Chains A and B, each alone.
Chain A
Amino acid sequence: MPPLESLVGFIEFRFPAFLAMHPLVAPFTAAKIRALNVGDEVFLTGTVFTGRDAVHKYLHEGGKLPPDINLRDGILYHCGPVTLKDEHGHWKVTAAGPTTSSREEPYQAQIIGDFGVRAVIGKGGMGERTLAACKEYGCVYLHAIGGAAQVLAECVKRVRSVHFMEEFGAPEAIWELEVEAFPAVVTMDSHGNSLHRDVLAHSQAELARRL
């Protein structure tokens, strides 16, 4: 069997749910999250909160969330959206792709535990500590399509609120977004599986045979 087929074969064998598509609709209960497996494609409907470097550092250092934000059973999105105020003074999201998640690896596990986060959306995947926290607390990592700013912005139906605008600036603020059928792929599940770890191991082995 050619080596590439063996990798595709491996993933399809290892993750039989590989081709499954799942609507994932709020409330994001532990049971719904635990039912997800690596390779599942989800379409998310509900509320997500953006947070990037400044928010993660702040929460990690013991910073408090504003009283009207609750991350319990919530979704954290690694994203710095491009936003505009329309003529009625309402915020509109014009671009909303994911940013690289690995920068939050030092903070993520603790935040998942402390705040009861059920899913983290980003790109590029995260490391072993986050994977362990996903397993312990019942959380998943959802990989959005990097660069798909327009498709993902179309999924944002409403901006509910924005916090920390003054302190952190617009891209780093916490934006509370109502999304509909937002596409993402489970690449780290709550059972200890990581697509990133597996693809890395297999590509490493394939490369070794070609050097």
Chain B
Amino acid sequence: MSALLESLIELIRRSSAEIPDDVNEALVRSLESEKKGTIAESAMRIIERNIELAKRKSQPICQDTGSVIFYVTCPVDYDQLTFEEITREAVKEATRKGFLRQNSVDSITGKNDGTNLGLGSPTVHFHQHRSGETEVRLVLKGGGCENVGAQYSLPHEKLHANRDLDGCRRVILDAVLQAQGRGCGPGVLGVCIGGDRATGFEFSKQQFLRMLGDRNPDPTLDALEQDILKTANELGIGPMGFGGRTTLLGVKICAANRVPASYFVSVSYMCWAFRRQGIQLDAASRIARWLY
């Protein structure tokens, strides 16, 4: 087996079975903040137990192992074609080993060939950079939380949302309200203000690569992130929508340019089973270090 194949299978295994430290810390804080003896607290306890069990058994945290999305940062002369071929092989092998569920269905025939391979499955985004380092990040994006994502076109008359920051705030909080507990909260929002319908969601998902505890370098967006997080947690939706103190674990927002005619706000929701990991590869494509 090539070293790259081995590294990628291990990346998939660990992503599927282990919650990254930054997310786990937020989950522990949320468990501690729920009122003792409530069903919200009990739900968080079961979640904590599930995380431990999955890690110990090296089994998927959730049976929905999600859409498999890779983000690769690589040097200028990197062989992307070979990388993509090996990535597909890794996904197939990880599925065979049970790190991924047979989770990819032909949209027209409904057939599931059990390999997790097909158009867009997995998705690999490449970004070249001038450094010699290669980094591979992986997000496993569950379906239940993907279903509660939303894209708003401003102005939005019903929500009284104009094309300004207050309008953005209104629609983002509407997405939280509409989601209730259905995205397996407490969750994390990734938001993109602007872009087009495709790039808006692409950028909103990329926000999940940020560390949960980081702060937005843009003071306007930072203030909006903090405000949405605080306000969402005052709504009382709580874990699983049972009522409680933690509705969101984090909010990450970016802005992309738009054409004057459009003003989209794209909201992606990530469930508590926030599965993302990353590796830096050494010259022989072995794992040099873990990124989260």
Q: Could you tell me which A residues sit within 8 Å of B by CB distance?
A: 3-4, 7-8, 11, 18-19, 39, 41, 80-82, 84, 94-97, 99-100, 102, 123-125, 143, 145-151, 154, 169, 183, 185, 187, 195-196, 198-200, 202-204, 206-207, 210-211
Contacts and interface: CB of A to CB of B under 8 A. Distances in A.
A147 B47 contact: yes
B50 A18 contact: no
B155 interface: no
Contact of B101 (A95, A150, A199): A95
Given A100-B144, A146-B184, A150-B54, A123 B237 contact: no
Contacts of B101: 82, 95
B104 interface: no
B273 A147 contact: yes
Contacts of A7: 236, 243
A62 B10 CA distance: 47
A91 B87 CA distance: 31
Most buried by B among A4, A147, A199: A147
Given A18-B39, A99-B144, A4 B234 contact: yes
Mostly, the B contact residues are loop
Please classify the interface of chain A as helix (H, G, I), strand (E, B), loop, or mixed, using the class held by over half of its residues: mixed
Interface string B28-59: 00000001011100110011011001100101
Contact of B98 (A94, A147, A183, A206): A94
B236 A123 contact: no
Contacts of B35: 8
Contact of A199 (B53, B243, B245, B271): B243
Contacts of B37: 19
Contact of A151 (B53, B112, B238): B53
B39 A41 contact: yes
B117 to A, nearest CB: 18
B242 A148 contact: no
Given A143-B242, A145-B50, A146-B144, A203 B39 contact: no
Contact of B236 (A95, A96, A99, A206): A206
Q: Which of B39, B46, B59, B112 has the most CB of A within 10 A?
A: B39
B207 to A, nearest CB: 20
6 contacts: A8-B35, A8-B243, A39-B39, A148-B47, A149-B60, A185-B242
Contact of A149 (B61, B233, B240): B61
Interface in B166-197: 170, 173, 177, 180-182, 184
B244 interface: yes
A142 B50 CA distance: 19
